[in-house]
């Protein structure tokens, strides 16, 4: 993995001087992004003592200055520049990262850098995809990947994709000023959950039957269904719904029940979902 980055001579000298003052031999700087691919993206520099860099970090030398770039942040740090601003005798590093707020494009195929837990689709069987396996991404939505390996489909969870160095398309919600749970944010969160075989979120599919919010207990309750009662991924999808709801500000707990009355039908689909699936 490579990164295109620039450090001005003035910024390099400033950082080298700053590192020297730490009195830790081999001290370097680590660069990473918080909330990459969102409007709240923030580029950060941190001291990195010897041995505390990650094995996946990208190491780059700028003269005598060594920077370690967080692997998961690299797509958002491409074309970044570290400069130095001076005003009233005060020197401050400046960072320009033009791609920090852009959602990174995922490669179509990649080789697993480590053994990865996965779920076989549609049975939901737990398996391990071994290090070195080449997989083809068929769907990358809601933070999880659906990949094809040797003709079979597998789901990689958001936790696994982040460990592999990929970024989520998750929304970062602004906490409401009134301290309440936002109904709209709950629906937006659920729109980040997808059936591993269908490129339409669970709201668009019409799988969500009920959303109840208890503001006093900071609790949300959802009733949802599945496109098929025999879907082996049902518990996983319901778990994803709960996980996404717990990311909504002021939600402390929640419950998701899967029901089959009334049964799901194509009439449940939103118009946008019908267009996506080529039904209209």
Domain boundary among 59, 74, 96: 96
Instruction: Report the CATH number at residue 65.
Output: 2.60.300.12
Q: Which residues of 231-265 are buried (b: 16+ CB within 10 A; e: fewer)?
A: bebbebbbebbbbbbeebebbeebebebeeeeebe
Collapsing DSSP to helix, strand or coil, 154 comes out as: strand
What's the structural domain count of the chain?
3
Predicted confidence (pLDDT) per residue in 125-168, tens digit: 899 999 999 998 887 777 788 889 998 999 898 888 878 877 65
Confidence (pTM): 0.55
User: Are residues 202 and 266 located together in one domain of the fold?
Assistant: yes
Shared domain check, 271 and 188:
yes
Residue 169, pLDDT score: 58
Within a domain: residue 177?
A: no
pLDDT digits (tens, 9 = 90+) for 9-47: 999 999 999 999 988 888 999 999 887 777 678 899 999
Domain of residue 238, residue span: 183-276
3-state helix vs strand vs coil in the chain, percent to 5: 20, 35, 45
């Amino acid at each position: 993995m490579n990164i295109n980055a620039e450090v001005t001579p003035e910024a390099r000298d400033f950082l080298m001087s700053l590192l020297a003052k730490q009195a830790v031999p081999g001290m370097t700087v680590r660069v990473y992004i918080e909330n990459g691919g969102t409007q709240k993206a923030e580029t950060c520099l941190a001291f990195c003592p010897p041995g505390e860099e990650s094995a996946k970090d990208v190491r780059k030398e700028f003269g005598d200055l060594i920077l370690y770039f967080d692997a998961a942040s690299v797509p958002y740090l491409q074309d970044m520049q570290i400069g130095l601003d001076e005003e009233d005798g005060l020197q401050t590093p400046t960072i320009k990262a033009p791609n920090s707020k852009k959602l990174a494009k995922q490669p179509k195929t990649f080789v697993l850098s480590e053994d990865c837990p996965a779920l076989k689709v549609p049975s939901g069987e737990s398996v391990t995809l071994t290090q070195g396996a080449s997989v083809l991404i068929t769907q990358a939505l809601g933070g999880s990947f659906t990949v094809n390996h040797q003709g079979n489909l597998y789901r990689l969870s958001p936790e696994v994709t982040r460990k592999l160095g990929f970024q989520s398309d998750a929304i970062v919600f602004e906490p409401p000023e009134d301290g309440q749970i936002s109904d709209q944010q709950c629906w937006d969160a659920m729109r980040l959950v997808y059936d591993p075989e269908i490129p339409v979120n669970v709201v668009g599919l019409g799988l969500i039957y009920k959303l109840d919010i208890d503001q006093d207990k900071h609790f949300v309750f959802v009733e949802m269904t599945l496109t098929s009662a025999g879907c082996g991924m049902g518990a996983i999808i319901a778990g994803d719904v709960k996980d996404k709801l717990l990311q909504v500000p002021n939600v402390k707990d929640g419950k998701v029940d899967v029901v089959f009355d009334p049964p799901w039908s194509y009439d449940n689909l939103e118009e946008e979902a019908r267009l996506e699936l080529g039904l209209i």
